[in-house]
Amino acid sequence: MSAVRPPARLRQPARLGLPASLPLPRKPARIPLRPRLRPPARLRGHGRDRGTVSIEFLGFLPVLLVIGLAVVQLGLAAFAVQQAGTGARAAARTASMDDADHPPAPEAAGRAAMSDWVKAGITVGGDGGGSVRATVQVTIPSIIPGVDNFGTASRSATMPRPQEPGALGLAPAVDTVDTYEGAPPR
């Protein structure tokens, strides 16, 4: 049988004349003497494609901006429609109240229910019967430069009038108190 020799790294202390019981010195960090060469282009892949993603993004950026502006403009149009509906309901509700309860001001109530930056035209009319109809027309604001107007949004609301004066419960209370004993009257 032949003796198995330890690897060279384990024999190093003996070769330096040091006792074998000392720990091995740490190997110093490798300092490259020459800069590493890049592998050839056939091994690296396509070396001339650097920066193409940035150029493609710059080409697609105007499309993204137009889509973003269109989404915001659609949101503004939906908000204007919602404001028109809110103003129409408030104006119709106010116009349907009794004159005896308090004098109605439906146009002012409709404008107060909407945002200040929305330009609105409010029309209130009745059919002479038991209902009141209010129509609000709102101009849709524009955020796109060069476009002043995207049209108008119109919403209407109809509210019934009370059948008898003071039916809404808004009439001043009467100070008379009826007293009775037993079950309440039917």
Q: What is the pTM of this model?
A: 0.58
What's the rounded mean pLDDT across residues 158-174?
Answer: 63
Is residue 2's pLDDT more than 70? no
Higher pLDDT, 124 or 114: 114
State how far the Cα of 160 lies from the Cα of 60, in Å rounded to an integer: 55
**Percent of the chain that is helix, strand, coil (3-state, to 5):** 35, 15, 50
Please write the tens of the pLDDT for every residue from 51-77.
788 888 888 999 999 999 999 999 999
Please report the pLDDT score of residue 127 as a whole number.
Answer: 63
Alpha-carbon distance 178 to 186, whole Å? 14
pLDDT higher than 50, residue 148:
yes
CA torsion, ordered 12, 15, 18, 23, to nearest 10 deg: 10
Residue-wise pLDDT tens digits, 9-53:
555 555 556 565 666 667 777 776 766 677 666 666 665 677 788
Look at residue 67 in the predicted model and tell me its pLDDT.
Answer: 94
Average pLDDT of the segment spanning 125-134: 77
Residue 175 has what pLDDT?
Answer: 47
